[in-house]
Structure 1
Amino acid sequence: MRSLERHRDVAAYALGVLTEAEAFRFEDHLMECPRCAAHVTEFGPVTRQLLLYRRSTPQFVHPMAKPGPQMLNRLLEAVAARHRALRRRTLYAVAASVVIALAGPAVALMGGGDEQAGQVVQATDARSGVWAQVTTENELYGSQVELKVKDGAGPRACHLIAIGRDGSEETVTSWHAADHDARENTMTGASAMHTDEIVRYEVRTASGEHLVTLKSQ
């Protein structure tokens, strides 16, 4: 397979439509191509939306069925709600900065918990030496996820897997660990499951090797 063809396989790999042999060859390519590794991460939101659609669509519905007006209305309502939430957070941040500027250090004594703050879990695996921290925040579609990871045993392609209480698994995000680089890396992703539906997260290599487990609170 030529290099150009490997670049073109990014979308097919992210969507999981490559054969096992093709996926294996592409993962070898990922270890040497930071550009493709970045593109795989960028395809994450599309993959998750398709997974969400598959889960919410009955099996008897034809794949080419067109969405009805109610589905469009629900999508518009979800987008509007997300925009309102973002605007509220922005206003809260501006108001907080004004209060701090006026009140000075005394404000620090009044610091309380942020109701929007997400759940944070972290762990280090004694065998692999990989450290990871996952921060999650519930959204209308599921949960938004931020991953911080330190992995000095690269280069290798890795995935963050969310495991539901029903045993289902979902790839939250993918990345490429650099060659023997133990610095902290940060990635973002999303899950169709809400926080209370996730029992744990696992960091695995593309070949399925387990690196670290983070148990949800």
Structure 2
Amino acid sequence: MSRADHMDVAAYALGVLDTQDAERFEEHLATCWACAAELETMVPVVGLLSGIDGETMMALEQTHTDPALLDRTLMAVRRDRRRTRLRQVFATAAAVVAFGALSGVGFATVFHDDRQFQQADPAPTVPTTAPAPEPKSSGPGIGDPAGVEGEQHDATDPGTGVNTTMFLVGKEYGTEINVRLTKLPGPRTCRLLVVRKNNTSEVVSTWSVPGGGYGTSTNQLPLELTASTAAARDDIAKIQVQSVDANGIATPLVTVADL
């Protein structure tokens, strides 16, 4: 490769080569690390030169013979750049004010320097009143009984007055039991007992009842909970809600039998 190829770096960086010479130099550049490194150092210089017009270049050439002309030229360039920068600031400020007028947002005074010039006033807010939330049942709810899948079984104990609605759903792992209890007084500790047809039993859930109870005159909300048992649906004989005292003695409150 000739020395001329190495001398084309500046011409290529400034974009003065014709198409054929540019392609030839690019082929040379792909294999010459020295030219590639020199080209990389010229990129910032080319960026600076791109901001200088032709008239300024001609004036700078004349300053080689007239030092006073160099000073006047540099001062003129600085003034021109300062005016350009201020025009950009004013244009941006005008755009911000126009945006504020369209969006209904008020803006503070615009400063004529390089600091942040936009300060938005908070838009007035209109207070809204959200609707009061509907009361929800306590515990993991089963919701509206009409919308629950499974076998529905209702029972009321004539002695305790406790009322229950249970939904039994057969699962691969056994049986899911959704329970709804009302007229359940408190305070007390309760448990849910599953009795199989082979007379074995299993406690599948326990809970505490507050003093106001559930589904009572003090607390009208029912207790809703979900429990599971490994027993298959066809193996369950009855399900019973029991009250357990401090000594661990269980007393039936309500029973769903003949399952």
> Which TM-score bucket, shorter chain as reference?
0.3 to 0.5
What TM-score results when the alignment is normalised by the length of structure 2? 0.38
Indicate the structure with greater helix content: 1
Of structures 1 and 2, the one with the larger relative CO (CA 8 A, separation 6+) is: 1
Indicate the structure with greater strand content: 1
What TM-score results when the alignment is normalised by the length of structure 1? 0.45
Indicate the structure (1 or 2) with the bigger Cα radius of gyration.
2
